[in-house]
Structure 1
Amino acid sequence: MNIIFQELKKELSIKSLGFSFPKAEAFFTSQWKWPPFVFVVYRVMVAFFTIGSLSAFISKNLKLPHHVMAYLTSWSYVLLTLHFNWSAAIVLYHFCQTYCFSSELDREDHAALKSVSSSSCSPYHSADHEMDTCNETCHTGDAMNNCILANTDHRSESSMDDTVESSKINIPNVGSSGLAGSNGCTLPGDHHYITINGSGSSPAISKKIFIKRSDFVEKEDQTRWYMKVSWFLYETISSVSVIVTVLYFVAIYPYLNGTDSFEDISVHGINTLLVVFEMIIAAYPVRLLHTLYTAIFGVLYVVFSLIYWSHAPLINVIYFKMLDWNQPQNAIILVCILLFVIAPFLQSVFFLIYKCRLRFYRRIYGEAYLT
């Protein structure tokens, strides 16, 4: 119970209104360890489907009593289409950056390693006599921009590697001026070195590692601006899509007498199905307080409907018996229920799905998604 209260306290803090997340991969990879190409195909297919559905819906409904963009359905599906196409662009960008241009990036990394290597052996570090005889061994990390240089002290490379693998690295605190403590030294630019003491059968062996400061400083937020935009679109449209589906099948569909088309089903029913798939397949996080952005979207549409209605109160009623401002009491009650009861409830359901997704990930792969 205490864990639940702590989680709620964290989620209901002002900080949770923002879009900070410690794992950028959540916005361009699947929640599950699928081959990257599979997720790319999923993203591209859904993006094309939403564009096609939106185009077909608009072209089919050009002769409606009201302009097609006056309907909540159109607003919501435009935002849904924007989300899926924006997220597809992000996935394609990172996929190409990782796999299509890897050889070019490897050459750039090699040049960067040589640059750091030459600077680490300069007279700038003459105070450390061990640095005068540099015998560098470059180890390229998994990340494309990581750069590590190791300086061995009169030992073979293989023995040193074995020693470091069995060593426990204690990285000192990092301040604005570099690494603190006697075992650290600031190098030119954004590089530092730390000394790793051996353990086990070779406790006397030590090794100096040159590492970029950004590689070992843990950041609270790893997301770029375009990931934040994608996250905002996802959180905003998820609840709106479900609300549109419920309103359509409860208040409109029963009176159509079988005249509905595939275009109508796509934007009123399949939209929610796509949101459900997104919650299961993608790795987007969910924040309880992000229901605020759904409410803002709803308020904007309500203001629009009021302005639209005011130009012709008897004609410009978009949704009779629901959002009819000739009967303001009923309209206000419905708006308040949707924005302040249904939307927060749906956001809570999405949050529980997100937490269950993380729990399933841990059970399947034996590790936490967020460490």
Structure 2
Amino acid sequence: MRRSPTVLAGGTVVAVAALVLAGCAAEPATTHGGTVSGPSAAQAAPTDLADRLAARARTLSGVTDATVERPSGRPRVVVVNDATRGAQGTAELVGTLVAEAADPSGTSATTDPEVPEIWVAPTTPAGADVRVLAWTPTGDATTGPAGVPLASEAMRAAYRLALTPGVVGVRADGTGPVEVAVARASDLVPVADVARANGMPVERVTVRGGGKSLPVADAPGHATVDAGARWADDPDASACRPADLDLTLVGQDAGLGHRALVVGATNASDAPCALDGYPEIGFATLTHAKLDVQVSHGNSYMAQDPGAHRVVVPPRGRALAVVSWDASSTAPDSTGHVPATTAEVRLAVGPGAPTTTRPVTSIAPEPGAVSDPPTDLDLLAGGHGTVTAWAPGTSHFG
């Protein structure tokens, strides 16, 4: 058979099934640890290729569990791991299994019905229900430098969405766009924004249970930034109104145990408007729970504070501010408790202004990036951050 150390990737179109997988002719049988259950248990050999791959998967670092499902058609090996491992790390793990999926008879993997598909089911602290096809022997294979497997677009979407607040379900089975379910209607716009910002193969976000939905293309857009906008101290410019500004998370940085988050305020109006002072910043977990983080104004290792001053933002100009903090350990403590990290940022242009909530996953990856971008911040309850005043987007930290 054809041996390939890769997963569905690159230009391969990988899609989504309904949020409850259906259409199978029979109840799937599963195997775990050599035990087989389900209607076809009598026919399932405990030592066939799917069972061997599941057993092998359970020996790999980062795998929580691996089971075998036997619907009509090909068997499935379902690998469970932590969503924080990321899509690319999981792709490399799956590549190990694919490389070992050789049929002793030498039959081609594309025709032998016993060669299993490999699925992944990342788990999250919020308990999102995520299932995605990671490899099928009938699909094209793509590798990156040095033959390292590349995650498919659907895998990248699934792992990033799994760590987005409000997401409760993701399905991708290779037959259509990635389906995404959220817990409530207020989650539709932030999650659709994440899908659009990252160019995900997602067409629609739906409230769990088949409720209200939002096409990604219909979600409110962001103001276009004009890098060439002329910044001038216009004494006649009025104060920016909340409706004038598009608040976003622009990027992250790190160095020598320090962290930074850059936030932006783009003037979406047709006239210059003035900002003066510091943004208000708050932080919350994957489950929308507020984190007790103190934020002060001033300089940090990562950014110099220009101090509060009047900044006239031209139309399509973007003012920036930098939030900095010291890296914190996210490892389990002596009791096994894992601290909650920051998964969403609550941003206001200043004290008393309306708050905009942005998931950390809304930060788009750099063009051409292969590694997974961050999905959370190691800013924990009890932590302290420092924020700079608003400054023109042409400043040194822009």
- TM-score scaled to structure 2, two decimals? 0.21
Q: Which has the larger radius of gyration?
A: 1
Instruction: State the structure with bigger RCO (CA 8 A, min sep 6), 1 or 2.
Output: 1
Higher helix share: 1
- TM-score scaled to structure 1, two decimals? 0.22
